[in-house]
Copies of this chain bind each other. A is one copy, B any other.
Amino acid sequence: MSILVVGSVAFDTIATPSGRVTDILGGAATYFALAASYFTNVRVVAVVGDDFGSEHEAVLTRRGVDTRGIERTKGRTFRWGGQYLDNLNEAKTDFTELNVFEQFKPRIPKEYLDTQFLFLANIHPTLQADVRGEMDGVRLTGGDTMNYWITHTPKELAQTLKTVNVLLINDTETKMLAGEKNLPRAAQKVLAMGPKALVVKHGEYGATIFFREGAFGVGSRPFRAPALPIDEVKDPTGAGDSFAGGFMGFLASQEEISREVLKRALFYGGVMGSFAVERFGTERLQNLTREEIDARFQIFCELTHLG
């Protein structure tokens, strides 16, 4: 199977207690694509400037990622600068230069239209909806969003959510989107907006998947996957996108999307997030093996499973 991710490719400048890096390859679509590439064929739709060189593209193509959907335009690639010096759980943004990303209008190559799985990374909800509309044959659509769209484009976001099957957001976003402080109640409200399943990412505490009653199986009991306690988080950037890549990539590798498969996907999401933070940027995601991933999956099981 294959998965298409639509989102940002960026150059990041990051400071953490472990060090500083300047203009390294990042962006939600990049982290997602690399993480998903260990499970399935990945296609990317994004936009970059003329500073995006062949060495940057090679990071993706070396992992077998199909980059035909990455549009090159005149100008500079999206740049983000942020730091985690005081708190590894939350980035403090130093600067955002949208550059070519400001006019991003996703164009889906004809060859991508048969893709079975779709992930709408965090971009304007109207762009998400447009892409979803073009990809009318997809089996399953995953999506992300953020506080900015929840606050500034609630109507557009509501339209998009009707077409997203699995939404992956964090605790704060879930509560903000629902206008409800209690997480399980907020989750039910979000599920009523469209998604059949909601993955709430808890950062260092793992993630919970909530199901709409009867979706993907019987009942509506949530399920929790842990995060790995990590001695040294070098760089938390991209952890959530890597989580989404592992989660969606694993789904795209499966014949059937049952509740049990979604639970395993939640564990694989945690696994890919845990690798991502071990090095700056996408470094760790570039050189993994499926064996290393499955060994860590086993550690995640041992972390929460009684004998």
A176 contacts the other chain (CB 8 A): no
Would you call A183 and B306 a contact (CB within 8 A)?
no
A243 to chain B, nearest CB (A): 16
A229 contacts the other chain (CB 8 A): yes
A221 contacts the other chain (CB 8 A): yes
Max chain B Cβ within 10 angstroms of own Cβ: one of A301, A302, A304 = A304
How far is B182's CA from A200's CA once the two chains are assembled, in angstroms? 23
Query: Which residue of B is nearest A184, CB measured?
Result: B229
A267 contacts the other chain (CB 8 A): yes
Would you call B221 and A303 a contact (CB within 8 A)?
yes
Would you call B232 and A306 a contact (CB within 8 A)?
no
Near B by CB (< 8 A), chain A positions 188-230 give 202, 204-206, 208, 210, 221-226, 229-230
A residues adjacent to B (C-beta < 8 A): 88, 181-185, 187, 202, 204-206, 208, 210, 221-226, 229-233, 260, 263-264, 267, 299, 301-307
A192 to chain B, nearest CB (A): 15
Q: Using known A-B contacts A204-B183, A208-B229, A229-B183, determine if residue A307 contacts B224 with beta carbons closer than 8 Å.
A: no
Query: Which residue of B is nearest A86, CB measured?
Result: B181
Would you call B233 and A306 a contact (CB within 8 A)?
no
The interface residues of chain B lying within 8 Å CB-to-CB of A232 are: 182, 185
Would you call B302 and A224 a contact (CB within 8 A)?
no
How far is B85's CA from A183's CA once the two chains are assembled, in angstroms? 16
Known: A182-B231, A184-B231, A304-B304. 15 other contacts (CB 8 A): A88-B181, A182-B233, A183-B204, A184-B229, A185-B232, A205-B205, A206-B224, A208-B229, A210-B229, A221-B299, A224-B226, A224-B303, A225-B304, A263-B306, A305-B306
Would you call B302 and A306 a contact (CB within 8 A)?
no
The interface residues of chain B lying within 8 Å CB-to-CB of A224 are: 206, 226, 229, 303-304
Copies of this chain, tallied across the complex: 2
Majority DSSP secondary structure for residues of A touching B: mixed
Would you call A304 and B302 a contact (CB within 8 A)?
no
The interface residues of chain B lying within 8 Å CB-to-CB of A210 are: 229
How far is B306's CA from A264's CA once the two chains are assembled, in angstroms? 7
How far is B224's CA from A204's CA once the two chains are assembled, in angstroms? 12
How far is B226's CA from A187's CA once the two chains are assembled, in angstroms? 17
Would you call B204 and A302 a contact (CB within 8 A)?
no
How far is B304's CA from A304's CA once the two chains are assembled, in angstroms? 7
Q: Using known A-B contacts A208-B229, A226-B224, determine if residue A307 contacts B181 with beta carbons closer than 8 Å.
A: no
Max chain B Cβ within 10 angstroms of own Cβ: one of A206, A229, A299, A301 = A229
The interface residues of chain B lying within 8 Å CB-to-CB of A263 are: 306-307
Query: Which residue of B is nearest A224, CB measured?
Result: B226
The interface residues of chain B lying within 8 Å CB-to-CB of A264 are: 306
How far is B87's CA from A183's CA once the two chains are assembled, in angstroms? 12
How far is B205's CA from A211's CA once the two chains are assembled, in angstroms? 18
